[in-house]
Amino acid sequence: MHHVNPLKRQLWGELKERRDRINIKWWCLMGDFNNVRKATERMGVNGDNVGAVDVRDFNKFISDLDNVDVPLIGRLFTWYKPNGRAKSRTDRILVSREWFDQWTRSTQLVLNRNISDDCPILLKNLEMDWGPKPFQFLDYWLQYKDFRPLVEKTWEETNVHGWGALWLKRN
């Protein structure tokens, strides 16, 4: 059975003390917490035995900091044993309530693992509108002798469907 390490409890307490002492509102914690919030977040590990005390303590840590566990999209698990038989959701992104109130459509996207047995996680906001993107052109490209022929060739070979304005512009 897996138990929360006393050093981990100490770290959790120190994080709360630090957050309270500096009175910070915008707070984001991310990484491998090596804990799960519920039994369904661990499969094939030690006979799926998830300690109720560990789950309770981790959830209390999240609650004490008034953190939000950012909704997960993509994979359900963030750690996989190399043979794929054991998996857990031990990695996560936790943000303060103020953070989540500002960006309510925040999600954590679990990406494909590569070198590590942990999957990388990307924090995204599905609703952020940064406005129109300005056109940018680096004029040093004009000094390259093959630039114009390359653009003309690419333009002619491009087959775009659906946007009539592009067709009008090309012809």
Indicate which CATH number applies to the domain containing 104. 3.60.10.10
Q: Do residues 10 and 44 both lie within one domain?
A: yes
- Please state, in angstroms and rounded to a whole number, the distance separating the CA atoms of residues 4 and 56: 10
pLDDT digits (tens, 9 = 90+) for 65-92: 999 999 999 889 999 988 888 999 999 9
Q: Do residues 77 and 111 both lie within one domain?
A: yes
37, 31, 77, 41: which is closest to 60 by C-alpha?
37
**Does residue 132 sit within a domain?**
no
66: tokens are: 């008034």
Q: Do residues 111 and 149 both lie within one domain?
A: no
For residues 39-59, give the mean pLDDT. 83
Give kind and range of the element (H or E) at residue 55: helix 52-64
Q: Do residues 37 and 60 both lie within one domain?
A: yes
Q: Do residues 92 and 165 both lie within one domain?
A: no
**Does residue 155 sit within a domain?**
yes
- Band the pLDDT of 171: cuts 50, 70, 90: low
**Does residue 28 sit within a domain?**
yes
Please count the structural domains in the chain.
2
For residues 2-16, give the mean pLDDT. 82
pLDDT digits (tens, 9 = 90+) for 103-120: 999 999 999 887 788 999
**Does residue 18 sit within a domain?**
yes
91: tokens are: 């990695």
Report pTM. 0.69
- Domain hosting residue 143, numbered range: 139-170
**Does residue 131 sit within a domain?**
no
Residue 169: its pLDDT value, please?
54
Using alpha carbons only, what angle is made at residue 38 by residues 32 and 40, rounded to the nearest 5 degrees?
Answer: 95
The better pLDDT of the pair 149, 137 is held by 149
Q: Do residues 85 and 153 both lie within one domain?
A: no
- Please state, in angstroms and rounded to a whole number, the distance separating the CA atoms of residues 108 and 111: 9
**Does residue 164 sit within a domain?**
yes
**Does residue 66 sit within a domain?**
yes
**Does residue 21 sit within a domain?**
yes
- Please state, in angstroms and rounded to a whole number, the distance separating the CA atoms of residues 76 and 109: 10
Q: Do residues 112 and 49 both lie within one domain?
A: yes
Residue 165: its pLDDT value, please?
52
78, 70, 87: which is closest to 27 by C-alpha?
70
Q: Do residues 20 and 58 both lie within one domain?
A: yes
